[in-house]
């Protein structure tokens, strides 16, 4: 075990997060030197650096902002040294992002910023202001900003400051040729629900399991697939024990399957195992897994908060009413969410077709890439 890994195990998470942000500028120093020694290509052809020396390939288990970079690689390969556009995503900001941006400008590169969610009391807890501070400066200073949803713009205005420079809303994309519906019913005998993403908040799993229990009580044969790491506590073994204990307490033995983390290559096959995406997270800014699920023909039952109503619309699923509260998370009511599932199941074929159609028409990868090319060319003029 490395010294860094050992430190991560013994330092409390809250203190580790603060220490991490304090040390990021120091860790960025070698990268900044590397940037300054590199060339800044002239002309309008974009050469893009994403702030990370290496972008994981499709066989790596990642989530969040790095998925966007994966999808951009064929069109805009990562160029850590010879670049004229620095493109960073707030959800995966590199260590010392401010210093990286400053060095990029010194060599003549332009900075384009992709704004996802922000830190606020209910989601992040103590220290949220410290997390937002460098993000606010990068958000303000960038030549151009993409917001991933109207909710992202709303939360950035509130917690980062209203943007004065040019910006637009550009929703997350999906490769609709890769993410396609299942050729046949994955389970004719059960309604299969999927709780996607990474389970770093206990309430998300708790709510999903209670929805499943409610459906079982109504006589619906259903089961639940859960993806991602169980990480609401530091010890994943303990999180797994708590999850199994909850499954047993609700009488759901044999009806819940924990799939663990997955890669982008594996993602379509996981979506095709389910009939419906159950998204219990509140105030989710613009989750890529939702548009991926829709592309695979999965209707979405969700907390009607964050950017979800913008993604799903009125035809591709059903939202459960939610109150916007920055100071506490208010999980969706499980009984209300179960009723929404029943509503979708009654007309699942229509909802599934609408989900796929909406993904193709509004969130396809190719227009998303084309818009990036246009903006990169614009900032280079």
Same-domain check for residues 206 and 132: no
Give the confidence band of 58 by pLDDT, cuts at 50, 70, 90.
Answer: confident
Same-domain check for residues 69 and 144: yes
Contact 149, 171 (CB under 8 A): yes
Q: Is 98 domain-assigned?
A: yes
The CATH number that applies at residue 274 is 3.40.50.2000
Q: Which residues contact 144 (CB under 8 A, 6 or more apart)?
A: 110, 112, 113, 165, 166, 167, 375, 378, 379
pLDDT of res. 1: 46
For tokens 């996607």, what's the residue? 196
Same-domain check for residues 149 and 281: no
Which residues partner with 232 through β-bridges? none
Q: Is 255 domain-assigned?
A: yes
Q: At how many degrees (to 10) do helices 202-217 and 236-249 cross?
A: 20
Same-domain check for residues 295 and 337: yes
Same-domain check for residues 213 and 330: yes
Same-domain check for residues 206 and 64: no
pLDDT digits (tens, 9 = 90+) for 80-136: 989 999 999 999 988 889 999 999 999 999 999 999 999 999 999 999 999 999 999
Per the structure, the complete domain to which residue 157 belongs is given by 20-173+365-380
Same-domain check for residues 331 and 357: yes
Same-domain check for residues 358 and 372: no
For the question of whether the overall pTM of this predicted structure is more than 0.75, the answer is yes
Same-domain check for residues 166 and 236: no
Q: Is 181 domain-assigned?
A: no
pLDDT of res. 343: 98
Q: Is 4 domain-assigned?
A: no
Same-domain check for residues 84 and 196: no
For tokens 């400066």, what's the residue? 137
pLDDT digits (tens, 9 = 90+) for 246-255: 999 999 999 9
Same-domain check for residues 354 and 371: no
Q: How many domains does the chain have?
A: 2
Q: Is 93 domain-assigned?
A: yes
């Amino acid at each position: 075990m490395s010294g860094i890994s050992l430190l991560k195990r013994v330092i409390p998470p809250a203190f580790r997060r603060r220490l991490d942000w304090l040390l990021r500028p120091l860790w960025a120093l070698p990268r900044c030197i590397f940037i300054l020694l590199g060339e800044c290509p002239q002309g309008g052809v974009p050469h893009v650096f994403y702030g990370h020396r290496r972008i994981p390939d499709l066989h790596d288990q990642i989530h969040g902002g790095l998925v966007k970079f994966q999808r951009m690689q064929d069109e805009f390969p990562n160029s850590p040294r010879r670049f004229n556009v620095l493109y960073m995503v707030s959800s995966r900001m590199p260590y010392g992002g401010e210093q990286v941006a400053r060095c990029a400008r010194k060599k003549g590169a332009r900075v384009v910023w992709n704004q996802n969610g922000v830190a606020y009391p209910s989601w992040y807890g103590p220290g949220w202001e410290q997390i937002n501070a460098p993000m606010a400066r990068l958000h303000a200073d960038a030549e151009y900003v993409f917001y991933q949803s109207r909710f992202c713009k709303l939360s950035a205005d509130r917690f980062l400051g209203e943007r004065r420079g040019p910006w637009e809303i550009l929703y997350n994309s999906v490769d609709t040729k890769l993410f396609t519906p299942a050729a046949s019913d994955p389970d004719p005998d059960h309604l299969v629900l999927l709780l996607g993403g990474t389970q770093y908040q206990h309430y998300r799993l708790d709510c999903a399991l209670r929805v499943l229990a409610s459906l079982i009580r109504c006589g619906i044969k259903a089961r639940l697939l859960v993806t991602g790491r169980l990480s609401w506590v530091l010890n994943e073994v303990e999180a797994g024990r708590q999850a199994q204990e909850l499954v047993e307490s609700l009488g759901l033995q044999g009806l819940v399957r924990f799939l663990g983390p997955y890669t982008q290559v594996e993602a379509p096959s996981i979506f095709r195992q389910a009939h419906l995406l159950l998204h219990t997270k509140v105030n989710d800014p613009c989750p890529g897994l939702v548009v991926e699920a829709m592309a695979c023909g999965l209707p979405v039952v969700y907390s009607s908060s964050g950017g979800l109503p913008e993604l799903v619309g009125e035809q591709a699923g059903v939202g459960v009413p939610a109150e916007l509260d920055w100071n506490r998370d208010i999980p969706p009511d499980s009984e209300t969410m179960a009723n929404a599932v029943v509503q979708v199941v009654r007309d699942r074929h229509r909802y599934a077709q609408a989900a796929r159609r909406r993904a193709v028409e509004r969130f396809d990868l190719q227009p998303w890439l084309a818009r990036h090319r246009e903006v990169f060319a614009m900032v280079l003029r």
